[in-house]
Amino acid sequence: MAVLAKRERRLLWVAAVPMAVLALSCVYPVFFALNNALKTNKGYILDRFGLVTAPTLDNFVTAWQRARLGEYFVNSVITTAGAVLLLLAVSSLAGFALAMLRFPFRRFLFLVILASLMIPVQVVLVPFYRTIIALDLVNTRIGLIISYTAFFLPFSVYMMTAFYSRLPRELVEAARMDGASILQIWWNVMLPMGKPALITLGILNTLYCWNDVLISLLVLQKERTVMVGIAALRGEYTTNVPLLTAGIVLAAAPIVIIYVFFQRQIVNGIAVGAVKG
């Protein structure tokens, strides 16, 4: 960043104040979750806001066992990782083609993908489920991977298309001049150029898949995923909030750890694609 004007500096300091307040509000849930996960249910009911007085780790143990997190983690990791990789591959291919290549029905196919983004999930549940049954994919991890890919694909393709369409088409033409095949262009030019978008998509899709409850409930009925295990910790009408928050802390921990731990790499990755003007 170049030397900034003094007034601009001052402006940024002024903006930092409300931004810091917003940041505090974003940290509060983490405090809320940890603080309450350490309370007993009775302790929480009697004092919802106060700082935990007699912290107990019982909720974590109970949540781990009752939500069967040990077993379910494996399912979540496999299905999330599989779906995210598939999503990135399929969407970068499609996004590249839709944004950069010239072929028949290009606009129409883009509109089809865009339209599929607007379908409310509730209404496609029954036919979607019948399709899964007909393909014999119920209770299989591959079934869930395919389902996730199908559900989050429109968003991913659209994002990759939007991202690639900002890049100059000369990139493709120059590479073609050099004799590169289109597949090579995708692999050698488009994937590296698309790194910021791909990392962002990777993060968002990981979150969507990891946090999903509804699709997983339908497809994996015998072996569950972590979030379904957590969802089952909610009572019929009342919820044991400390137990639930303990479960959520456990379930969200891998995501938060990955995000915080790899923040540097993620930030660098997002910054790397900078186009020279």
Partner 1 sequence: MQAKLSALLLAGTILAAAPAKAQEITVWDWKSGDPAAASYYEKVKGDFEAAHPGVTVNYVMQPLDQYYTLLGTALSSHAGPDLFLMNGGAQAKARIPALLRLDDKVADLRKTVIGWPEFTGADGGVYAVPLSIQGFVVYYDKKLYRDAGLDPDKPPRTWADLARVCAAIKAKGAVPCFSMGNKEGYGAEFWFSTMAANEWTAGEQQDFAAGRLKWSSPQVKAILQSWVDAGKAGWFQDGPNSTTKFMDEYEGFMRGEDANTIGLISDVAHWKQFDDFLGADDGVFRMPSPTLAADKTEGDPMMPVAGGIGYGVNKASVHADLAVELAKALAAPAAMQVFFTDTGAIASNTGVDTSKVDSPAAKAILAWLKTKGVPTAHANATAKELEEWHRQSQLLLNGEATVDAAAARLDAVQADARK
Partner 2 sequence: MGSKAERRIGLLFVLPAIMLVGLFRLFPLAWGFVLSFTDSNGFGRSSFVGFDNYVAIAHDPVFRDSIENTLILIATLPVWVMLPLLLAILIHQGVPGGRIFRAVYFFPAVLSTVIIGSIFNVVLRFDGSLNAFLKAVGLVPVDWLGNGATALASLIAVQLWATFGMSLLIFMAGLSTVSTELIEAARLDGARPLQIWIHVIVPALRPIIEFVAVVTTIGVLTSMFGLIYVLTAGGPGTATTLPEFLIWLEQGKMNQPGYAAAISMVLFVILGGLAYVQIRIMSRNANL
Question: Looking only at residues 202 through 231 of this chain, which bind partner 1 when binding is defined by CB under 8 A?
Answer: 213-214, 217-218, 221-222, 228, 231
Q: Which of residues 210-249 bind partner 2 (CB under 8 A)?
A: 211, 227, 230-231, 234, 239, 241, 244-245, 248
Nearer to partner 1, 122 or 178 (CB): 122
| Under rule CB under 8 A, residue 270 binds partner 1 | no
> Mask 117-136, x = binds partner 2 (CB under 8 A)?
xxxxxxxxxxxx--x-----
Q: Where are the alpha helices (DSSP H) in the chain?
A: 6-37, 41-46, 58-66, 69-100, 106-116, 121-134, 141-164, 170-177, 182-185, 191-193, 195-211, 214-219, 226-231, 241-261, 263-272
CA dihedral (111, 113, 118, 119) positive or negative: positive
Shortest gap between Cβ of 146 and partner 1 (angstroms)?
Answer: 15
Q: How far is the CB of 252 from partner 2 (least distance, A)?
A: 6
The answer for residues whose C-beta is within 8 angstroms of residue 93's C-beta and 6 or more apart is 186
Residue 20's binding partner among partner 1, partner 2, none (Cβ under 5 to 8 angstroms by kind) is partner 2
The number of CA neighbours under 13 Å toward the Cβ of 97 is 16
Six-digit token string for 9: 């500096």
Site for partner 2 in 9-68 (CB under 8 A): 11-13, 15-16, 19-20, 22-23, 25-30, 32-33, 48-49
Q: Is 56 in the site for partner 1 (CB under 8 A)?
A: no
